[in-house]
Amino acid sequence: MGKSVRVSTVSVVCPLYNAEEEVLDFDRSLRMQKGIKLVEVRYVLTESDDHTEDILKAAEIPFQKIKKEAFSHSLVREQAAMKAKGQVIVFLTQDVVIRDDEFLAKLVAPIVSGEAHAAYARQKTKYNNIEKYTRAHNYPTRSFTVTKKDIPKKGLKTFFFSDAAGAIDASVFRGLNGYDGKDLPISEDMYLAHKIITLGGKIKYVADAVCYHSHKFKLSELYDRYRLTGEFMKQNPEIAKHGVNSAGGGMAKSILKDAVHDKNLRVIGGYIPNMAARYVGMTRGKMSGVKMLSTKGDLPRNPKLQKNYALMRKGER
């Protein structure tokens, strides 16, 4: 994989679901962006139980609507990205809060300059919960670039990428065939990053492109997330072989160390059940492993996965 083609136009791809409280502020934050040419925002709205559709129509914001059973984390993004007009594609989720009017310019800068083929932003949380420490572990204060040469040292972390706030050269995305037409209920961003890195590409973490992505997950929600992640790892051994347990263990130690340093009693008190939910979920997932779907036509009709949609739209990565 050679140097990224320099880009001048940007397309944003964003799935929506029950977004009535977020969508207008989110859309305004995109329209105020400076230093880039934003040619389109491709919203894909899963039929919702609230007034998101009415709000979009009233504000004359273009969107595509799909049925709940048609939703797929990978395929919704893939199909929208394949049709995108921009030379760089930015993936965002509806619950990301952008306060910097140069956020997109900073995020896509490494792709524009040819320094990297993909990039992802720094995510912070407004809460003083355990997510504060997972975010600090996954999104440090300094930028860096990873390549295939980093695999022996970083292991699984080499393929860390987030499509909650990430960008990729459109020609690279299409050249890699996106997510290969697979219906991935989780970790589609890691799947894509693995392809980029193993084929000789570069991914940059851009620490000065900051957004806010905040959640308060229940233990049952964490369990479900990690069960799906375990299934993903079982189905993708070429990724899992780089150290799932070591990556998780490193984050667990980092969380505890920082929480003790801050004397964050709430996090310390909930640490063991939180980590247990993650570990048990991951273990159960690796023991089961439902076969991934592959499609070349319409989005898959897979009701079994839909119950996780409301949770999965809130990414923790």
Locate the domains of the chain by residue range.
Answer: 9-312
**Residue 87, both tokens:** 């030379």
Angle CA 271–274–276, to nearest 5: 105
Which of the residues in the chain have pLDDT under 50?
4-5, 292-317
Q: What pLDDT shows up at residue 250?
A: 80
What CATH code would you report for 9-312?
Answer: 3.90.550.10
Report the amino acid identity of residue 245: N
**Residue 9, both tokens:** 């136009």
Decide: residue 238, CB within 10 A, 0-12 exposed, 13-18 middle, 19+ buried. exposed
In 3D space, the residue among 114, 122, 120, 103 whose CA is nearest the CA of residue 171 turns out to be 114
Neighbours of 167 (CB within 10 A): 33
**Residue 134, both tokens:** 């997972």
